[in-house]
Chain A
Amino acid sequence: MSACSVTLETLPQHPEGKEILTCLQCGVCAGACPYGDVMEYPPRRMIAMMRAGMQEKVFTSDSLLSCVACYACMAKCPRGIRLTEILLPLMKEQTLAYLPELPAELQRALQNTLRYGNPMGEPSRKRAAWVKTAGVPIRSFAEDRRPADALWFVECYTSYYPRGQDNSRATARLFHRLGVDYAILGNEEKCAGECGRLTWEPGLFETLMDYNMAVFQKYQFNRVVTSCPHAHNAFKNRYPVLGFNWALEHVTPFLAKRLDGLNALLTRKLPYLVTYHDSCCLGRQNEFYEAPRQLLRAIPGVKLVEMVHNRVNSLCCGGGGGGMWLDTYFKAKGYERLSERRVREAVATGADILAVSCPYEISRFEDALKVLGYDKRMMVRDVTELLAEAMEE
C-alpha cells in the first residue's frame, strides 16, 4: 500500500488526497466521533482548514490528541475518505511535532516500548514468563525451531498484564485442545508497534517493524495469529511493505473458523447473560462482527444481548491511537472517559458479563466499572476466557 510513503506535503498527489478534495462538509465525521463535541477542529473542519491552507492552526491546537483512532468517522464518511487510515495520523504527526512536550504518560509508554519492547516498561526477558502458568505445553521457536503452521503473536498486554495473561492462558488451552500446530516467539517478541504509528512516532514504529520482521524471517510458519487487534492492524496494513505476506488472523475469527471442533469441547454450562463489545480494529476496521458472537452463542447457557451501539456503530473504549496512555491528560482536560461511557451502556443491558476481544479493553473496562461502582454487577471477560471456562478438563 502506497499510504506508507504519503506525507501531508505529498498527499494532494495521491488518490487519498483527491478523496479529501471531495469532502462534502456534511459533518458526519464530527457527529460520529466519540470526542466530536470536545475537539476544537473535528475532521470536517480539519479538511476545510487544509483546503483553505490553514492547516497550521490545526496542528497548534491539540484536537488530534483526542483522536482515538476508532474508525467511526471513516466508517460513516459518505465520500469514503480514509480519515483514520491516512489523514488523521498524518495530522497527528504534525500536532505532536508542534507540541512543546508530550503528555508524560504517553511519553513514558513510547519510551518504554522503544527500550523494552512493551509500553509498561517490563523487562523483555520476562515476556514469556506467563507460559509456565498456562498449564499446557507451549512451544517457543527459540527453543524448538521446527516449522509450525501458525505463529501465535501474543503481544504486550496479554504477556505482562495479569488479567491479560488470563486471555493468553485461555488461548493456549484452546489451541492445545484443538490441536493447533503453533509456536510463539517467547522473549524474542516485541510490540508490533501499531500505537506507535498511530501516535505517530514513525521512528519507533519502524524500529519495531524492522525488529519483528527480522525475527519472523528466522522461522518457518504459514500464518500469524495474534491476540491483539492492534497488532493485527499493523501486520495487515503496514508490515506488507517489508515483505509480510503470511496469512494473518486474529484469535477470535481464527477460533470461529474452528467452531465445529470447538463445539464438542464446550460442555460446561455457563449461565451468563453476555453483551459483546466490538473492538474498533476488529469490528469497524475488519468487519469481524459475527465471529465473536458465533463463539459466544456456541457456549452452552450463554445468552447474548446487544448494547445500543454495536457492530459498525460500536463506541470506542478510548484506548486506540495512544488513548491508552492519555487518560490522565483527558481527565485534566475534563473529557468524559470513553470507557465509562461504554460501560454505562453495557450495564444498561442488564448483562453480567461484558465480553471483549481486544486486550486493551480488559483493563480499561475493569477500571471504568470500578470507578462507576458497577464492579459487583458486571465482569469483563475476553471471549477466549469464556470459551476456555466452558471447556471441562
Chain B
Amino acid sequence: MTRYAGGLPGVAVAREYKYMCSDPGQELIRQDIRDHGLDRIVVAACSPHLHEHTFRQAVALGGLNPYYFHMVNLREHDAWVHTDKAAATEKAMDLVRAAVRRVKWHVPLEPRQVSIQADVLVVGGGIAGIDAALTLANAGKHVYLVEREPTIGGHMAQFDKTFPTLDCAACILTPKMTAVKAHRNITLWTMAEVRQVEGYVGNFSVTVCRKPRYVLEDLCVGCLECIQACVYKQAKVPDAFNLGLGKRKPVYIPFPQAVPQVVVIDPETCIEFKSGKCKKTCVEVCAERHAIDFHQKEEIRTIQVGAIVLATGFEVFDAARIPYYGYGLYPNVYTALEVERLVNASGPTGGEILLRDGRKPATVGIVHCVGSRDEHTNRYCSRVCCMYSLKLAHLIKEKTGAEVYSFYIDVRAPGKAFEEFYNRVAEEGVIFIRGKVADIYPAGNGDGRVILQAEDTLLGMVRKIPVDMVVLSTGLEPRADAAAVRRLFNIGCSSEGFFLERHPKLAPVNTFADGIFMAGCCQGPKDIPDTVAQSGAAAAQALALIDAGVVELEPNTAHVVEDACSGCKTCIPLCPYSAISFVEEKRAYINEILCKGCGTCVAACPSGSIRQNLFEDEEIFDEIEGLLVPA
C-alpha cells in the first residue's frame, strides 16, 4: 500500500506507521511537512469521525492550513466491510488514489466561529432531568425544564424505597423537586412538549407547546379546596399515578408532593367540559383567586438555547404482552410498579399490602425477567429488575410476613452493596427458585390463588407453587414515542429503541448531534445512582460547551456565485435548514451560520452557481476520476 501510494503522481513521501494518531505519529506528519516542504497531506487510516480533527490539528501545527488535509476512511469503507483481503487492498489503493487526486484542489479555509446561547433546555422532569437542571442552574445557567406530565418527579416519585439502602424514594426526591421550583435560574414548564427544534450546536431555537391545565399556575396556591368542592363527591377516575389502583376526581393533584403544587383539570372527565352545565363548585370555592380557567388554551413558546439535555426516561413493559402470565386476567397478578404503590404509605392502600379483595397475601411469587432477556419481547437485560425484586421481596416480607418465592434466571447484583443486599434478603427467608416461570393459572378452587409453574433447575424438577399474589418484575422499554423524539432532535437510536450515545465508552452522554446530551433511562435501562451520575455528566458537558462562549463550525458550507445566479429560487424550498433566502430581488443568499453543508442546493442548482467548500466540482470530479481510472 505504502509503496503504491509513494508512486502516485504528486506524492512526495508515503509512510506506514501503526499508530498514526498517537503523538509520535502526529509528529511524523509535522516533521515530513518541514523536511519535504509538503503542501498537501492524505491519511488513509480509520474513521474521519474519530480522527479527522486530530490530523487536521497536526497539519496545522506543521504550519499548513488544516484543510489541505484529506482523510481516507479505510475502516468503515473498507477493512470492516469486506472479507476478501486482496480485493480490499485493491480498494484501499483506489481510495488513496482518489484522495491524492482530490486533495490538490483543496484551498485554505477557516472554521466559522459562532457565539453560543447561554441558556439550556432540559427535556424530561424525572430524576435525571431534575438533577441535570439543578446542576446547570447552580452553575448560573438559565434552564428551561420541560415536562410532559402535570408534575415533575417521574418514575422515581412512584417508588416506595430505593435499593439497596432502602432510602425512602420520596424523602430523597421531593427536596430536589421543590428546589427546582424555587430555583431562580430554572423555568419549569409542566404539561409541555417540545414541538420543533431548529438551529445547531450553541444556537438552538426550540418551540415548546404548553398544554392547558385549566388552572392558572400563578394564581393557584395548592390549597386543594377545589378538589373538596368538586361536584363529584366520590373520586371515580382511575388515578394514573397509582396505576389505576386508586381513584381521583376530574380536578386533582397527581400526588401530595407534586411540583408545581397546582391542581389540574382533566377535560375528559370534567362535567363542565362534557356538558357545559356543571354547577362549577370548584370555581365558587376559588372565588378569591380565580385560578380556574376553563378557557385556557395551549400556548406555544419559542426559546433560544445553546445546549439541550434529553432525559425523557423509559416506559414499563406491558405485562399483558405475555398472555400466559395472566396480567389483566387474574386480579392477583400485579406488576412491580403497582406493588411499589401498594407498599407506599401514600399509596391507595395507605401502605398496607392488600389484594384487590382486601385480603393480606400469605404467599407471594415474584417473577423475574418479564419482558427482558427474551427474544419474544426484549432481548436486553433491564438491569434494575433483579435489585428491585429483592427490595420488594424484603418489603413484602417485612410488611406482611408472607412466604415469598422469587423465580429468577440469574440474580444480577453488580453494584455497590448490591450483593450484600441479596445476601440479606436471602437471610430473611425469601425462597429463591432458579427457573423461568412457564405458566401462571388459577389454582382452581375459586379463592383467587394462582399456581406458578416452573422448573426448579437446581433441583431438576417442575414445581407448581400456589400463591395469593404474583409480582411481575417487568422490564424497562423505550418510550412509545422515542422514535418521534429521536427524529425531532435529529439523534440516533440503538436497535432496541433507546437513544444512541456517540461512543459507548468515551462519550456516553453525548448524542450524534453536537450540543445535545442525554441522561438516564432514555439511553438505556439503569438505576438511580447511574442515572444521577449521567445527569451530572450531561450537565458538565453542556456547561463545557456553553462556557467556551463560541463554537467552531466546519467551513464546509455552500455559497452562491452571485454573478451566475439567475434567481430561479429552486434552492430555497429544498434547503432542510432554511438557510437560503432571496435578496435584492435577484439572487439567492446562503446564511453560512445556518448552512450545515448537506449539498442539496449545490446539486439542485440548474445553473451550477452554488458551490460548496471541500466539495468543489473539481475536487469531486477529480476524486471520482481517481477512483475509476487506475494511475
Which chain A residue has the least Cβ–Cβ distance from B438?
Answer: A31
Is the Cβ of A27 less than 8 Å from the Cβ of B369? no
State A76–B374 Cα separation when bound (angstroms): 9
Residues of A within 8 A of B373 (CB): 24, 78
Residues of A within 8 A of B436 (CB): 24, 26-28, 31, 78
Residues of B within 8 A of A44 (CB): 455, 457
Q: Kindly state whether residue B66 has any CB partner on chain A within 8 Å.
A: no
Interface size range on A against B: 20 to 34
Q: Kindly state whether residue A309 has any CB partner on chain B within 8 Å.
A: yes
Q: Kindly state whether residue B324 has any CB partner on chain A within 8 Å.
A: yes
Is the Cβ of B409 less than 8 Å from the Cβ of A26? yes
One of B33-41, B131-139, B348-356, B439-447 contacting the partner: B439-447
Which chain B residue has the least Cβ–Cβ distance from A311?
Answer: B323
A30-B323 contact given A24-B409, A44-B457, A78-B375, CB 8 Å threshold: no
Cβ-defined partner of B435 (8 Å) among A26, A308, A312: A26
Is the Cβ of B376 less than 8 Å from the Cβ of A31? no
Q: Kindly state whether residue B337 has any CB partner on chain A within 8 Å.
A: no
Q: Kindly state whether residue B460 has any CB partner on chain A within 8 Å.
A: yes
State A59–B460 Cα separation when bound (angstroms): 18
Q: Kindly state whether residue B207 has any CB partner on chain A within 8 Å.
A: no
Which chain A residue has the least Cβ–Cβ distance from B372?
Answer: A78
Residues of B within 8 A of A77 (CB): 375
Is the Cβ of A45 less than 8 Å from the Cβ of B460? yes
Is the Cβ of B455 less than 8 Å from the Cβ of A36? yes
The B351-395 residues at the A interface (CB cut-off 8 A) are 369, 373-376
B interface size (C-beta, 8 A):
26
Residues of A within 8 A of B444 (CB): 348
Q: Kindly state whether residue A287 has any CB partner on chain B within 8 Å.
A: no
Minimum Cβ distance to chain A for residue B79 (Å): 25
State A32–B462 Cα separation when bound (angstroms): 9
| Number of A-B residue pairs with CB-CB distance less than 8 Å in the complex they form | 75
State A308–B549 Cα separation when bound (angstroms): 66
Q: Kindly state whether residue B437 has any CB partner on chain A within 8 Å.
A: yes
State A32–B452 Cα separation when bound (angstroms): 11
Is the Cβ of B323 less than 8 Å from the Cβ of A27? no
Residues of A within 8 A of B579 (CB): none
State A311–B462 Cα separation when bound (angstroms): 22
Is the Cβ of B462 less than 8 Å from the Cβ of A36? yes
Residues of A within 8 A of B462 (CB): 30-31, 36-37, 42
The B445-465 residues at the A interface (CB cut-off 8 A) are 453-457, 460-462
Q: Kindly state whether residue A79 has any CB partner on chain B within 8 Å.
A: yes
Q: Kindly state whether residue A123 has any CB partner on chain B within 8 Å.
A: no
Interface string of A26-67 (1 = CB under 8 A from B): 111111100011000010110000000000000000000000
Residues of A within 8 A of B376 (CB): 76, 78, 80
The B312-345 residues at the A interface (CB cut-off 8 A) are 323-324
State A320–B357 Cα separation when bound (angstroms): 41
Q: Kindly state whether residue A263 has any CB partner on chain B within 8 Å.
A: no
Minimum Cβ distance to chain B for residue A280 (Å): 15
Is the Cβ of B441 less than 8 Å from the Cβ of A28? no
Residue numbers of A with Cβ under 8 A of B are: 24-32, 36-37, 42, 44-45, 76-80, 308-309, 311-313, 348
- A-B contacts, 13 of them at CB < 8 A, read A26-B409, A26-B435, A27-B456, A27-B457, A28-B435, A28-B437, A29-B455, A31-B435, A31-B437, A76-B376, A78-B375, A78-B436, A313-B324
Nearest 6 pairs of A and B residues by beta carbon: A31-B438, A27-B455, A80-B375, A30-B455, A26-B436, A78-B374
